[in-house]
């Protein structure tokens, strides 16, 4: 409580958070007296995906040459370290005076690194250079940074400043469903209803029964459970072998977030508590961590039932994202929650197992075998998803503070170009006459090559410095509109973004949370994971699916929590609140909210 009082006395007594920024004079080998004309290159350090691990990239592509001509210097995007390793690499480089001009950080989400860099005065306060007084110099970067103004109030250790350029992030995941399997099930629905005890003979099948019991792409959790069960039990691929599952997931549990959102809670977030049975708010205006909410308990119970009954692939407990995707495309599982942007990759993979005279024909036929949809809604109509970020951004560039003013401003000019219409057009479409041409009516026709399936990818699929730079800066999802099936992909991402679950107050890390939230999240992950898989005792609820009554009793059954799970959950919450400081974090967080100093996220 002393920490809370200290914070409140600071913010309430002054009306603002006061701090200083600067540098300790450690120039890291940069010439502090250089002029603009002396600077011919900028180096960016970024942890990247496997595609970008090699430093021997092409610096002569038309897009990169256009970038260099626009900004007036070379941009070297240096990689070779994973995202997980990047924070320690940055600390090491700082300690040895070897930090490059720009490096990629996750800002307040990785509060340990962010606070370290701020305390070391190793990073530039972006808002000291990009603000109301300089908006004519950096108009596009200024507009971009305005949406993150809340950080000045909410990130209490940041001295009222923002020390990196947050990049775009949205919830870009959706449900993939094998519609060919749905068609196969509906084609033999009469026989299935016999098996389920609805009718005694397929000859009793009627149009009314078909409409009542047909399988559909699920829009609710009850439809999702019923379809997952049917995909597992009723031979949807028609091979006569019991070798299919309803749903596949992976070890990255962010991909289970949609189930928790459907149960009226968040995913490792601070949310107003909601009763998942009624949808009513509990103690409105008070925030709880979703890790211990009743909604999370019910979501865990649903997964526990599905794992016990074998509707989830057993390998989900160890799947990588790639293995999960393979099991969907190869016909082992009928549903998965995956990035919308993977649509063409999924279609190409299914095309390899699809008939057709040409690769293009197989690709077109493959697209008819699956659909993408919003994740199913819970009892109260809530749906969506999220990652464990209490934020709305991905990692972005920070600028080394131990450089000349001229070099710092060069870095800012690079970011300004990226967010300008000219920059966005270059990174989206490429170079006119090479990557695209403008038609007489003003529309753009892409000239980029397509693969054997007739699929054209983003320019960022290239491994050059321009592509690496755009990977670091995260192009808006609307730029996907130029690729094959771009309209469909952008439309779905627009919808998933609209259903994104976020905390009202972003990036709020209290003093206790700085030390404990990572361990508390790990406690939630490991404990709920054991409950879901019934590892330490049967946590699943003992109820039986009945096709005849599911339309009326489905929600009651699905939201049932067993006495075993209730007991284990209560024990877990007690451990979370005491051993992992959940109660202290709750008290501090709500004190911060009550102080009136924090800013709500944009749009609220």
pLDDT in tens, 162-215: 999 999 878 899 999 999 999 999 999 999 999 999 999 999 999 999 999 999
According to the model, what pLDDT value does residue 13 have?
A: 38
CA atoms within 13 A on the CB side of 524: 27
Q: Residues 224-244: what's their mean pLDDT? A: 98
Q: Are 128 and 21 in contact (CB under 8 A)?
A: yes
Which pLDDT value is given to residue 6? 40
Two structure tokens written together for 315: 């390998």
Which domains, ranges and CATH numbers included, belong to the chain?
Answer: 18-169+394-475 (3.40.190.10), 170-180+219-226+239-388+476-604 (3.40.190.10)
Averaged over 277-295, what is the pLDDT?
96
Residues 108, 166: Cα–Cα separation, whole Å: 10
* SS3 of residue 17 by DSSP: coil
DSSP codes of every residue in 271-300? EE-B-TTT--BSSTT-EEEGGGSHHHHHHH
| CA angle in degrees (0–180, nearest 5) for 154-160-163 | 95
Q: With CA atoms as reference, report the closest residue to 414 among 469, 474, 495.
A: 469
Q: What is the pLDDT of residue 460?
A: 65
C-alpha span between 23 and 21 (Å, rounded): 7
pTM: 0.91
> How far is 264 from 275, CA to CA, in rounded Å?
7
Average pLDDT over residues 5-32: 47
Average pLDDT, rounded, for the chain? 90
Q: How confident is the model at residue 20 (pLDDT cuts 50, 70, 90)?
A: very low
pLDDT band per the 50, 70, 90 thresholds, residue 395: confident
Mean pLDDT, range 500-520, rounded to an integer: 92
pLDDT given for residue 52 in this prediction: 39
Q: How confident is the model at residue 469 (pLDDT cuts 50, 70, 90)?
A: confident
- What digits encode the pLDDT tens for the residues 476-497? 889 899 999 999 999 999 999 9
């Amino acid at each position: 409580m002393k920490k809370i009082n200290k914070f409140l006395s600071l913010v309430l007594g002054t009306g603002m958070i006061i701090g200083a920024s600067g540098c300790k004079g450690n120039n890291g080998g940069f010439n502090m007296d250089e002029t603009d004309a002396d600077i011919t290159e900028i180096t960016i350090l970024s942890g990247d995906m496997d595609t970008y691990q090699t430093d021997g990239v092409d610096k002569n592509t038309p897009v990169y040459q256009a970038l260099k001509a626009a900004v007036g210097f070379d941009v070297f995007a240096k990689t070779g370290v994973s995202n997980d390793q990047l924070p320690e690499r940055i600390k090491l480089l700082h300690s040895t005076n070897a930090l490059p001009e720009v490096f990629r950080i996750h800002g307040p989400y990785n509060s340990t690194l962010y606070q370290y860099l701020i305390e070391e005065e190793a990073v530039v306060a972006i808002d000291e250079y990009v603000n109301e007084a300089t908006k004519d110099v950096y108009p596009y970067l200024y507009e971009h940074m305005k949406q993150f103004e809340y950080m000045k109030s909410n990130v209490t250790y940041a001295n009222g400043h923002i020390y990196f350029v947050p990049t775009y992030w949205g919830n870009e995941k959706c449900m993939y469903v094998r519609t060919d399997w749905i068609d196969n099930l509906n084609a033999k629905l009469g026989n299935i209803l016999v098996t389920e005890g609805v009718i005694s003979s397929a000859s009793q099948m009627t149009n009314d029964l078909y409409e009542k019991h047909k399988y559909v792409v699920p829009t609710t959790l009850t439809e999702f459970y019923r379809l997952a069960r049917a995909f597992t039990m009723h031979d949807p691929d028609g091979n006569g072998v019991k070798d299919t599952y309803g749903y596949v997931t992976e070890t990255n549990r962010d991909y289970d977030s949609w189930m928790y959102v459907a149960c009226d809670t968040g995913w490792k977030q601070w949310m107003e508590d909601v009763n998942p049975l009624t949808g009513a708010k509990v103690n409105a205006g008070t925030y709880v961590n979703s890790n211990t909410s009743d909604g999370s308990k019910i979501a865990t119970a649903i997964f526990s039932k599905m794992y016990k009954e074998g509707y989830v692939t057993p390998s989900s407990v160890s799947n990588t994202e790639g293995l999960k995707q393979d099991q969907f495309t190869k016909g082992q599982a009928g549903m998965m929650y995956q990035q919308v942007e993977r649509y063409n990759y999924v279609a190409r993979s299914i095309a390899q197992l699809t008939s057709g005279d040409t690769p293009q024909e197989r690709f077109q036929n493959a697209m008819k075998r699956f659909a993408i949809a919003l994740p199913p809604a819970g009892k109260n109509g809530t749906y969506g998803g999220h990652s464990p970020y209490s934020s709305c951004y991905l990692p972005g560039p920070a600028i080394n503070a131990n450089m000349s003013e001229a070099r710092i401003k060069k870095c800012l000019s690079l970011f300004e170009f990226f967010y300008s219409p000219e920059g966005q057009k270059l990174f989206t479409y490429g170079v006119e006459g090479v990557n695209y041409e403008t038609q007489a009516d003003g529309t753009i026709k892409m000239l980029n090559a397509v693969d054997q399936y007739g699929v054209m990818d983003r320019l960022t699929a290239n491994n050059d410095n321009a592509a690496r730079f755009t990977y670091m800066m995260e192009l808006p999802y609307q730029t996907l509109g130029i690729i094959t099936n771009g309209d469909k992909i952008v439309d779905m991402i627009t919808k998933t973004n609209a259903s994104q679950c976020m905390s009202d107050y972003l990036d709020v890390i209290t003093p206790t949370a700085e030390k404990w939230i990572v361990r508390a999240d790990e406690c939630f992950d490991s404990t709920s994971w054991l409950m879901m898989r019934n590892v330490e005792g049967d946590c699943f609820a003992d109820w039986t699916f009945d096709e005849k009554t599911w339309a009326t009793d489905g929600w009651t059954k699905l939201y049932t929590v067993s006495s075993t799970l209730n007991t284990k959950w209560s024990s877990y919450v007690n451990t979370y609140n005491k051993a992992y400081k959940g109660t202290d974090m709750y008290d501090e967080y709500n004190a911060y909210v009550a102080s009136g100093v924090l800013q709500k996220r944009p749009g609220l």
